[in-house]
Structure 1
Amino acid sequence: MTTAPNGTPCWYELTTSNPDGAQAFYTAVLGWTIADAGMPGMDYRLASAGGDMVAGLWVPDQPGMPTFWMVYFTTNDCDAAAKAIAKAGGTVHKQPADIPGTGRFAVVTDPQGAVFGLLQPLDDTGNAFDQKQQGHGNWHELMTTDPKAAMAFYGKQFGWKASTSMDMGEMGSYDLFNHQGADIGGMMRLSPNMPGPQMPFWLPYFGADGIDAAVARITKAGGKVVNGPHDVPGGAFIVVATDPQGAMFALVGPK
């Protein structure tokens, strides 16, 4: 059983109906190297950046699943974590199961309905999340109907702590959360004026070498910019976009 801290972002996974199109898009936009994982009976592809595996792309075997990005967080006991989430008002969509050579995982939602994954890795957590590396996960944004309740839920499950809160005017506040001494994401109230699904969801941010250049690559590769680019505190710039299949993601980096 791993001793990784609960709640460390550790994997990013795209559910898509067009893996070839998604592979071409993210290779062009983020410079990922993507290869088949060799999993019998399913199309699962592994994306690498800077020598680190950072994300998975897969085609679900059940029809009707939406195209979306899901974030996985570590747990040192997947079964116990899934039970605790259900007891706290969340839902377990995929019961804990083993991934040979990787660990034990589950797919759950928080009480407001945002989907995320749990992973109990066999050894270390890998390097998919690295706020200093391009092409890696850099930030995690939760759009939710109840930010206060969400912060309390994740605080209890993962030990996250509320950090800086920024006034966003009519949109409410943007509430950062801290894990292991670093801010790793923010939460804000879902608004009908926001792009994206009108239900709670996690939005992953990947590191980019330059936002203006990334925007050009997104549009050239068939994606769509839905918000930004604009600057954020700390001197970085962000852009929110959708890939050609409609999955929403975001990028952060210098201008």
Structure 2
Amino acid sequence: PDDIPGVGRFAVVADPQGATFMFLQPNGPDQPVVPAGTPGHIGWHELYTSDWKAAFDFYSEQFGWVNAGDFDMGPVGTYQTFTAGPESGGGIMNKPEQIPVPVWQFYFNVPAIDAAAKRVTDNGGKILMGPMEVPGGSWIVQCQDPQGAHFALMAPVR
């Protein structure tokens, strides 16, 4: 673990399949929970891994993940949703071939997907997939910033 002065103590670790994530113990009092869907905050977590069942078991044991339902996505396999509280928090699936290593993808909340996608391209980013509607009615788009980092956006409306 390392310390960030005035922020807290952190450690970057990897799960058994190699996807990295970070623990953070903030200094000071706990911050209030941000309401679901708040723009600018992460609204969905997605893990692309080499063995979704083993990864789900690992995270369930470590963090109390509960199966929130799974979906057959045809040739790409099963998409397992999970929760660790009252709301569904993310999904997990075997990674497609074009993703070389297991990795977490984060979906940032935005008010409207088309306007957000335009801001991405206007500022030198690329749209990799979408916009597309997903089960539950949200809209998503997967993106790449000008430096090559991948991220995703989600919105309640197109």
TM-score (norm 1): 0.59
- What are the residue-to-residue correspondences of 1:78-97 with 2, within 5 Å? 96-97=1-2
Following the alignment from structure 1 to structure 2, what is the Cα–Cα distance between the partners of residues 126 and 137?
15
Structure 2 residue 15 is matched with structure 1 residue 117: no
Structure 2 residue 13 is matched with structure 1 residue 102: no
Aligned counterpart, 1:215 = 117
Deviation at 1:139, TM superposition (A): 0.5
The AA in structure 2 aligned to 1:217 is R
Aligned counterpart, 2:68 = 163
Aligned counterpart, 1:134 = 39
Aligned counterpart, 1:10 = none
Structure 2 residue 78 is matched with structure 1 residue 176: no
Aligned counterpart, 2:152 = 250
Following the alignment from structure 1 to structure 2, what is the Cα–Cα distance between the partners of residues 135 and 249?
13
Deviation at 1:101, TM superposition (A): 2.5
Following the alignment from structure 2 to structure 1, what is the Cα–Cα distance between the partners of residues 106 and 36?
12
SS in structure 2 opposite 1:181? coil
- What are the residue-to-residue correspondences of 1:220-231 with 2, within 5 Å? 220-231=122-133
Mark the runs of 5 or more structure 1 residues left unpaired by the alignment: 1-95
Deviation track 1:107-149 (CA, whole Å, cap 9, x = no partner) reads 001000001101122321555x652201111000000000000
The AA in structure 2 aligned to 1:160 is W
Please tell me whether the aligned partners of residues 130 and 137 of structure 1 are also in contact (alpha carbons under 8 angstroms): no
Q: Structure 2 vs 1, CA of residues 247 and 98 (structure 1 numbering), >3 Å: closer, same or farther?
A: same
SS in structure 2 opposite 1:149? helix
Following the alignment from structure 1 to structure 2, what is the Cα–Cα distance between the partners of residues 130 and 249?
21
Structure 1 segments of 4+ aligned residues over 4 angstroms from their partners: none
Deviation at 1:98, TM superposition (A): 2.2
Aligned counterpart, 2:134 = 232
Query: Which shifted more, 114-123 or 103-112?
Result: 114-123
Q: CA RMSD in A?
A: 1.4
Mark the runs of 5 or more structure 2 residues left unpaired by the alignment: none
Q: Structure 2 vs 1, CA of residues 139 and 130 (structure 1 numbering), >3 Å: closer, same or farther?
A: farther
